[in-house]
Amino acid sequence: MVHANPPVILGLKKSFGFGDRLGLAGPGHLAALEKSTFTGVLAQQSMREMTRTRRRADQVVEAAQDAVNAAHYTRPWGADADHLKTEADIEMMAKAGFTYFTLDPTPAVVNAADTMKEAELRAEADKLVREGVLGPDWMARYLGDKWEVDNGPPLAFEEEPLLRAAVKFARATAETARLHNAVARHCPDRPFEVEVAVDETAKPTSHREHLFLALELKRRGVSFVGLAPRFVGKFEKGIDYVGDISVFTSELERHAAIARRLGPYKISVHSGSDKFSLYPFIGRICGELLHIKTAGTSYLEALRVIWRTNPDLFREIARYAAEHFAEERDAFLVSTTEEEVATLAAQWPVDPEPVYFEERVGRQLLHVTFGSVLVLGRRPGGLPFNEAIRETLAKHADDYREALDICLSRHLELLEAG
């Protein structure tokens, strides 16, 4: 079937990613997007989310496409195959029609390099040369050079930080090149774009590490439109930024300057939902060279509509989520503890909406349990939660669209206010 407006590559325009775990959020996403100057990435799903929701790649693209068709949406939009780690994942996502491939070389990142002594770093770097990951003359390429970058003195490498960056990231750049080639092989006759994501490393990405990554990726012929560093502070799921905003902004200014100087490419902000205090700064600093990813916030808005229109169902989901919090929480960056969830679950609040939808514990509880709720959870009568949620949202489609529009317009407007 040929679609009037299929997903395409977006290039270096500021973009906003709308993850949709249920496949029903499209109308609300488009309502917010239509009022915004951002380009939309409507089908955005990580491999982890796909596994947890048991959705197929083609269903994810199809749901977004249906919403685009129904709304007669005519602006270009993209489809992000998020956090790809294997060629098999890439093949599947390419077949489904994704256009934006987020390559995640995290398994090849050597986090232990952060604390290695210089002798150890040298031994590891020698090993990388022996294995052919680095060329014999690799250090000469970086030492002595200076990179003029805005918002600070020129960046240069000294020997030890260079060794550390190389030991930490050289294998990851080789892995990224391998994944990049796989994307090219599986998209032989159509355009695609690539993002490189190192946002799930143990420590924040330093500016020199960013510089090393970008230079090595370039040397290996990897062309990318976005890079997701790990930022300082905490990007917890479902809540605003936790950390010092002035430190974040000065770090981001340099990251953005490196991206302008060496690309240009976009800075990609993952776990980008609900970071309201940062948005004006992020929007101002990155300008057009920005991509933001959100997902969980749209699922929480779905549950908010469930609460407002089918409170019994919501209460069952909240109880079930509390029972499954312990087994789900470790896969996500959240500070909410089992004790806090137990305290919350011990008593049904007089007014659940602020407790479950505005406060940290309730939001993170609902956020991390989407997998078990959508795949395993059932109502006392036996109907899967997944079907019950869909039934309720179908009946109240206008409410869901409006709730999403309000929530995501708030995100977009703050980004544009910078």
Sheet strands (E) in 186-284: 193-197, 226-228, 266-269
What count of other Cβ atoms lies within 10 Å of the Cβ of residue 411? Answer: 23
Could you give the angle at the alpha carbon of 157 between the alpha carbons of 154 and 163, nearest 5°?
A: 160
Nearer to Zn ion, 279 or 332 (CB): 332
Site for Zn ion in 229-288 (CB under 5 A): 270
Residue with smaller CB distance to Zn ion, 199 or 405? 199
DSSP H helices, 294-382, are: 296-309, 311-328, 338-346, 352-357, 360-368, 370-375
Residue closer to Zn ion, measured from CB, 268 or 310: 268
Q: Which residue reads 């270009």 in tokens?
A: 76
Collect contacts of 135-143 with beta carbons under 8 A, ≥24 apart. Answer: 138/166, 141/219, 142/212, 142/215
> What distances in angstroms separate CA 67 from CA 63, 94, 401, one per listed residue?
6, 21, 11
Minimum CB separation of residue 125 from Zn ion in Å reads 28
The dihedral of CA 106, 212, 138, 174: what is its sign? positive
- Residue 43: phi, psi to the nearest 5? -100, 105
CB of 46 to Zn ion, least distance (A): 7
Q: How far is the CB of 240 from Zn ion (least distance, A)?
A: 18
Smallest gap from residue 104 Cβ to Zn ion (A) = 7
Q: Which is nearer to Zn ion, 270 or 324 (CB)?
A: 270
Cβ 52 to Zn ion shortest distance, Å: 15
Q: Which is nearer to Zn ion, 49 or 199 (CB)?
A: 199
List the interface residues with Zn ion, window 148-177 (CB under 5 A): none
Q: Which residue is nearest to Zn ion (CB)?
A: 270
Task: Tell me how far, at minimum, the Cβ of 197 lies from Zn ion, in Å.
Answer: 5
Q: For Zn ion, which is the closer residue by CB, 199 or 216?
A: 199
Residues 6+ apart with CB under 8 A from 212: 142, 157, 162, 165, 166, 169
Residue located via tokens 């269903």: 59
CB of 8 to Zn ion, least distance (A): 23
Cα atoms in the Cβ-side hemisphere of radius 13 Å centred on 288 = 8
Separation of alpha carbons 123 and 163, rounded Å = 10
Check: CB of residue 287 under 8 Å from CB of residue 214. Answer: no
Q: How many residues bind Zn ion (CB under 5 A)?
A: 2
- Whether the link from the prior residue into 264 is cis, omega within 30° of 0, is yes
Answer whether 50's CB lies under 8 Å from 40's CB: no
Q: Spot the catalytic one: 80, 195, 199, 209.
A: 195
Taking the C-alpha atoms of 149, 275, 330 and 59 in order, what is their torsion angle to the nearest 10 degrees? -100
Name residues contacting Zn ion, limited to 197-236 (CB under 5 A): 199
Instruction: Write down the catalytic residue from 20, 82, 124, 253.
Output: 82
- Catalytic (active site) residue 195: yes
89 counts as binding Zn ion under rule CB under 5 A: no
Q: Contact region for Zn ion (CB under 5 A) — 186-194, 196-204, 250-258, 396-404?
A: 196-204
Known active-site residue 216: no
C-beta of 270 vs 411, nearer to Zn ion: 270
Site for Zn ion in 314-373 (CB under 5 A): none
Give how far Cα 6 sits from Cα of 48, 97, 311, Å. Answer: 25, 9, 37
The DSSP H or E segment spanning 319 is helix 311-328
Residues taking part in catalysis: 82, 195
Q: Which residues bind Zn ion (CB under 5 A)?
A: 199, 270
